[in-house]
Structure 1
Amino acid sequence: MRRKTMSERIRQIANGPPVFRFAPSPNGRLHLGHALSALLNADMAKSCSGRLLLRLEDIDLTRCTPEFEQAILADLDWLGLAYEQPVRRQSEHFALYRAALDRLIERGLAYPAFLTRGEVKARVSAYEREAGPWPRDPDGAPLYPTEERHLDAGEREARLATAERFAFRLDMEKAIACLDGPLCWQDSGDGERGDITADPAAWGDVVLWRSDAPASYHLAVTVDDAAQGVTHVVRGLDLFHATAVHRLLQVLLGLPAPLYHHHRLILGPDGRKLSKSQGDTALGALREKGMTPSDIRTLVGI
C-alpha cells in the first residue's frame, strides 16, 4: 500500500484550509529549538498549501522588548520563512483575554487566589516534613492549595479590597464537572500519537490571570489559536501535557479544537532543552559564525 504524503495526511484530518502558527516570545534571542519549530511549521504549511501565521507572545511586558522582537523578525527573515501579515501581538489583545476570563468567573469556574509563591512554598515544605510528598503537576511544580475555592462571598470581597496582588485560578474540580464525557486531543508528533486522553486534573487549579499580567499562557494561547483560526498547532514536546489544560479551556469557552503535532526537542550538552540564555545556540550567533539557513536545517535534522 502506498504511504500517504505529509500533505495527504494533513488534509485527511483538516476541515477547511490548514492554518499553522509559529508563536515565539520576544524575551530573548531565537535558538536552534525555535528554528526547528519554525521550520516544521513552514514545511508542513507548504506541503498542503496551508497558511503560516506569526504570533508574538509578548504578554510579559517586563521581559519582552522591541529589541528582541526585531531580532526575531530578522532571524525568521534570514531563515527564509514567509508568513502572513499582519503579525499578531498578544499585547494588543488584552481585552479579549479578559472577556474570556470574565466568562469563566461568571460561571463560577474561576476564583481569586491570594497566596504568594513564597507562602505556597512554605506551606508545601511544612506539609512534606510532616506527611510526605505534596502533589505536583507534570512539570514538577507543587499544586496550588485548594481551600480558597470555598471562601464565602463576603470574605472573598473583603480580601479583594485589601489584597495588593492576587491571581484568578481555574477551579479544576468545577471545570471538570462541566465535561459531558472524556476529554482528548489528536496528536501526530514525535511522542504519543493518535487520540490522547487529556488529564487536566494533573495540573490542579492553574493560573488564568495575575495582577501583574493580563492573562496566563494557558488562557492567552487558547484564545489566540481560536481567534486566528489555527487548525494545526506544531510545538515542542515540552508542552505536550499542557495541552490537557488547553483542551479543557476550549470546551469551557466553546472554542474549536485544533490538531496537535508535538515535535522532539533540541537538547544541549547537559541533556536539557535549550534556553534563550544559552547564547552559543542563538541563531544570530550562528549566523555571525558564517552558518547558512541550510546549515541550520542540517543541525536540527530536517
Structure 2
Amino acid sequence: MKVTRFAPSPSGRLHLGHAYSAALGHELARSSGGQFLLRIEDLDLGRCRPEFVGGIIEDLDWLGLGYDGEAIVQSERTDVYAQALEALKARGLVYACFCTRAEIAQSLTAPHGDAGSQYPGTCRRLPDDPERRASTPHCWRLDSAKALAMAGLPGWTEHDGTLFASRESDFGDAILARKDAPSSYHLSCVVDDAASGVNLVVRGEDLRPSTPTQRLLQSLLGLPEPTYFHHPLITHDDGRRLAKRDLAPTLEALRNSGVDGPGLVKQLLDGRLPLGFRLSEA
C-alpha cells in the first residue's frame, strides 16, 4: 500500500508539470489501495500567498484528484520543525552561519550553481556566540562532515528498484533554518513525510539532488526511509522546463479554455502531452 503526497508551494497558480506529478502520485496511491495526501509548503513567507492555496485545491478538484484527510499546512507546524532542529543542535550537528549570499559567492574561486550549496564553511569552526545570534541575522547549517561521520553515506531506492549510492561530493552544509524561514525544504520535508506515513515520494527529477541530504537527515533523526520516484519533467518543445516565473500556462487557463480535467489526467498518465510540450529525458 503506497502513501504518496503532492506538496506544492502556494507561490503561483499550478501548471501542467504540477498536474503530471499529482496525477502520478494519485495513480500510484489509488492503484495500491493506499493514500494520496496534500501538503501546502508555505514556509517562504515572501513568495507564498493565501489565495494560491485555494487555487491548488480548485485545480485538484477540477482534475478529479481527490486527496485523503485534511491538507497539511507547513506554516502551522513550525514548532515540530523547531524540535527536530533542537535535536540536531543537541548533538552538535548544526552551527550558526552569519555569512550573506554575497559573501559566500565572493569567497568561492569558481562558484557554480547556487552559492549556498557550495558554502565554503566560513562559520563552521566559530564558537557559539548567543549575543551575536541575538543581534545579527543568521541561519542554521548542518555540519555535513560531522553528520556523515556519525551516520555514514546514505543511499536510497527508486520506485523501479534501482539503488542509488551517495558520494561525499553530494553534500554541502545545507541550511536548515533562517530567521525568515523557520525550516528549510530539506528539514520540513523529511519531518512531514515521516509524520504523514509517506512511503513513496513522487517528485520531479530536478529534486533528485536533494535526496542525499534528506536521506542523511532521516538517518540522523531516526525517521523511516521512503522509496522515491523522480519522474521526468514536462518541458516546452525547446526543452525549457515549466516554471511559474516564466508564466507557464496554468491549469486555471486550461480550465477556462474548456479543457476537461479528468481527460487531461488520463492523457498525462498515457504519456500524451498537449501540443508544444514534451517529457524530459531521464
TM-score after normalising by structure 2: 0.90
Query: Are the structure 2 counterparts of residues 140 and 33 from structure 1 closer, same or farther at C-alpha, using a change threshold of 3 Å?
Result: farther
Structure 1 unmatched ranges of 5 or more: 1-16
Amino acid at match of 1:295: L
Which secondary structure does the structure 2 equivalent of 1:150 belong to?
coil
Shift of 1:291: 1.2
1:111 — aligned with what?
95
Query: Are the structure 2 counterparts of residues 96 and 36 from structure 1 closer, same or farther at C-alpha, using a change threshold of 3 Å?
Result: same
Query: Are the structure 2 counterparts of residues 175 and 28 from structure 1 closer, same or farther at C-alpha, using a change threshold of 3 Å?
Result: same
CA offsets 1:36-68 (integer angstroms, 9 cap, x no match): 000001111111111111111111122211210
1:146 — aligned with what?
121
Identity of aligned residues (%): 46
Matches within 5 A, 1:145-164: 145-153=120-128, 156-163=129-136
Matches within 5 A, 1:30-109: 30-109=14-93
1:184 — aligned with what?
155
Matches within 5 A, 1:135-284: 143-153=118-128, 156-163=129-136, 165-179=137-151, 181-188=152-159, 194-199=162-167, 201-284=169-252
Shift of 1:296: 5.1
Query: Are the structure 2 counterparts of residues 147 and 197 from structure 1 closer, same or farther at C-alpha, using a change threshold of 3 Å?
Result: same
Structure 2 unmatched ranges of 5 or more: 273-282
Shift of 1:82: 1.3
Aligned-residue CA RMSD (Å): 1.9
1:5 — aligned with what?
none
- For the residues of structure 1 that align with 2:202 and 2:117, how far apart are their CA atoms? 28
CA offsets 1:107-128 (integer angstroms, 9 cap, x no match): 000000000111112222xxx3
Task: Check whether the contact 1:200–1:248 (CA below 8 A) recurs between aligned residues.
Answer: no
Task: Check whether the contact 2:153–2:167 (CA below 8 A) recurs between aligned residues.
Answer: no
Task: Check whether the contact 1:172–1:201 (CA below 8 A) recurs between aligned residues.
Answer: no
CA offsets 1:10-50 (integer angstroms, 9 cap, x no match): xxxxxxx4211111111111101000000001111111111
* Among 244, 264, 268, the residue aligned to 1:295: 264
Amino acid at match of 2:240: R
- For the residues of structure 2 that align with 1:280 and 1:56, how far apart are their CA atoms? 20
